[in-house]
Chains A and B, each alone.
Chain A
Amino acid sequence: EIVLTQSPATLSVSPGERATLSCRASQSVSSHLAWYQQKPGQAPRLLMHDASTRAAGLPPTFSGSGSGTDFTLTISSLQSEDFAVYYCQQYHDWPLTFGGGTKVEIK
């Protein structure tokens, strides 16, 4: 199975600053990578698919990049509602797998 490793586990950022989250795959997943946001007590929300395509309604402050084994989710200017846990997920092969998550917390 394809293992996804996210780093860092926790990212402390001040509001208005930029956050850069990393996701590395154990083998190439081409561009078959999605990102999700999960807030406490809520279901995850799809943010991005095909590595860099924003879900409907997602502001352009969120951007995704990468292909192959290395991917990045960037939040250009963190708002209060962006503090959450972020997961990457590959759909290049079954079983579908998630990374362990990056918690973005207020510095």
Chain B
Amino acid sequence: QVQLVESGGGLVKPGGSLRLSCGAAGFPFSDYSINWVRQAPGKGLQWVSFINTAGTTIKYADSVKGRFTISRDNAKSSVDLQMDNLRVEDTALYYCARGEVTFEFWGRGTLVTVSS
């Protein structure tokens, strides 16, 4: 069955960096676009970034533009999210989700905590 597994979360100081990964299985990975969506503790959902099947179309939320970089490796069935210059307000559970503009399958998330 479809599986998305996020990893790479952790505790980091403001201004620091983390690299999240989303590993996929159970479907032809190169046929699907992938998004990152985050959820701050006790809060709602916020879309973060999108990458299309070939990695040629990439989009970011304004709040992360210039600090986050999304990439994918279809040979490894994975999508990465490089997060630099992290801020306290980036603290959230980060989900990867399969879909072009709606999110039909989700991973369980990886927690990123930005705190001094």
Contact = CB atoms under 8 A, between A and B. Distances in A.
Interface of A: 1, 32, 34, 36, 38, 43-46, 49, 55, 87, 89, 91, 94-101
Contacts of A55: 104
Contacts, number: 49
- Bin chain B's interface residue count: 10 to 19
Contacts of B50: 96
Interface of B: 35, 44-47, 50, 59, 61-62, 95, 99, 101-104, 106-109
B44 A89 contact: no
Nearest to B101: A91
Given A43-B95, A43-B107, A43-B109, A98 B47 contact: yes
Contact of A46 (B45, B104, B107): B104
